[in-house]
Chain A
Amino acid sequence: MKTKIAFYRKKLNITQEELAELVGVTRQTILVLEQGKYNPSLLLAHKITRALKQRKIEDVFKI
């Protein structure tokens, strides 16, 4: 799954560690999500979208 996590994260000027803390996961999970190696649950996708200050999940995650 392609994601725009890294793009929005850099736009907000936050590190992977900070984003991980915001959504309650480990830094490694953010790393694999950014690489598109792991498909998150709907709940985690929602949390990440909110943390990145986006409205739609589709804006951050693309199938």
Chain B
Amino acid sequence: MKNRQEKNRKKNLILRYSLATLLIISGIVLSYLKLGNEFLGFSSVGLWLIYVGFVMLAVISLQILSKKKRIVDERMEFIAAKASRITFMGIIIFAFIIMVIDGIKPIDFAYSYFMSYFICGIVLLYAISYKILLRSN
């Protein structure tokens, strides 16, 4: 059982490192070919990809270096699934509200800002619902 968990952990790490490397490489390629400059309000997609890739690499490396062993048990997985469902419902309700508001008064808002706020909202909703469920369940 522990051996299998260790194997899964290693597989997961390799996947995450590969994804971070892929992001950096694609960022370098996009920057080199000067593709994606001025894309949907972002100054440069390539530079952003490189930035996200490096942050990802730093986070993974820090997680490896930290000696603290994180336990994820079945209850936490159950709560995470519940929090995901709540977040999904939140997205649907939010989309409906946006549609209604847009019908009453057209929304004139930069797409990049909208996506930034939207992603922040999703993360926040998930984190809050997870914390609440963890305490109440």
A residues near B (Cβ < 8 Å) are 24-26, 28-29, 32, 37-38, 40-41, 43-44
> B74 contacts A44, CB within 8 Å?
yes
Q: Are A26's CB and B137's CB within 8 A?
A: no
Q: Chain B at the A interface: mostly helix, strand, loop or mixed?
A: helix
Write the nearest CB–CB distance from B82 to chain A, whole angstroms: 12
Name B97-133 residues within 8 Å CB distance of A. none
Q: Are A25 and B137 in contact (CB under 8 A)?
A: no
Q: Which A-B residue pairs are the 4 nearest by beta carbons?
A: A25-B73, A29-B75, A29-B73, A26-B71
Contact A37 B137 (CB under 8 A): yes
Q: How large is the interface on B (under 10, 10 to 19, 20 to 34, 35 or more residues)?
A: under 10
Chain A residues near B71 (CB-CB < 8 A): 24-26
Contact for B74 among A25, A28, A37, CB less than 8 A? A25
Interface residues of B (CB under 8 A from A): 71, 73-76, 134, 137
Contacts of B73 in A (CB 8 A): 24-26, 29, 44
Contacts of A44 in B (CB 8 A): 73-74
From A24, A38, A40, A41, B137 is in contact (CB under 8 Å) with: A38
A-B contact pairs, 7 of them (CB 8 A): A24-B71, A26-B71, A28-B75, A29-B73, A29-B74, A41-B74, A44-B74
Q: Which residues of B contact A37 (CB under 8 A)?
A: 137
Beyond A38-B75, A43-B74: 15 further Cβ-contacts under 8 Å? A24-B71, A24-B73, A25-B71, A25-B74, A25-B75, A26-B71, A26-B75, A28-B75, A28-B134, A29-B73, A29-B74, A29-B75, A32-B137, A38-B137, A40-B74
Expressed in whole angstroms, the minimum distance between the Cβ of B20 and any Cβ of chain A is 29
